[in-house]
Amino acid sequence: MNEINEKNGGKSDLVNSRALFVLKIITMSFAILACVIIATAMLTRWIMDLNQKIKESNTRIAKAATRLNKFRKERIRHILRQRKLQLKEEKADRKHKKHERAKKLADMENDFESDEPEDMGEITDEENAINDFDNELSDIMLDGIDGEV
């Protein structure tokens, strides 16, 4: 090589320098390509991990939502059962109150009938209407008394 340099008058060989320049460009291209490949691989792995975490979190969220729906439905069923029992109790109380009221009215009528003389005769339609009105009025009064107690 020194011989070639001496022939040119101490100038460097342009062919060799061009070849070195091309080699440097090719080497740099491969280095850049390797960096791009490594960066792509790392990003791909990061994206895959992130995708897996999203799937896991969605699964957890779905499981939690399922559990919440289950608890919500159980709570609604419990409330409905309690309300049904409450309605049954209220119905039984009303029935009991009606029975007590009827018993009181029957006792009152028995007392009234025992006070009447036997020779009064048959009751007319007007007297029936008055008795019905009195019965309704006594029902209303008894409701008022039951409401106060």
29: in domain: yes
99: in domain: yes
- Write down the pTM of the prediction: 0.37
Domain that holds residue 97: 2-110+126-148
11: in domain: yes
Q: How far apart are CA 79 and CA 83, in angstroms?
A: 6
Single out the residue of 100, 81, 85 nearest to residue 143, CA to CA. Answer: 100
pLDDT in tens, the chain (149 residues): 455 555 555 555 666 788 888 999 999 999 999 999 999 999 999 999 999 998 888 888 888 888 898 999 999 999 999 999 999 999 888 888 888 888 887 887 777 666 555 545 677 878 888 888 888 777 777 777 666 55
Domain count, the chain: 1
63: in domain: yes
Residue 113: its pLDDT value, please?
A: 63
* Cα 25-29-34 angle, rounded to 5 deg: 150
119: in domain: no
136: in domain: yes
Q: What residues contact 5, with CB distance under 8 A and at least 6 apart? A: 11, 12, 13
116: in domain: no
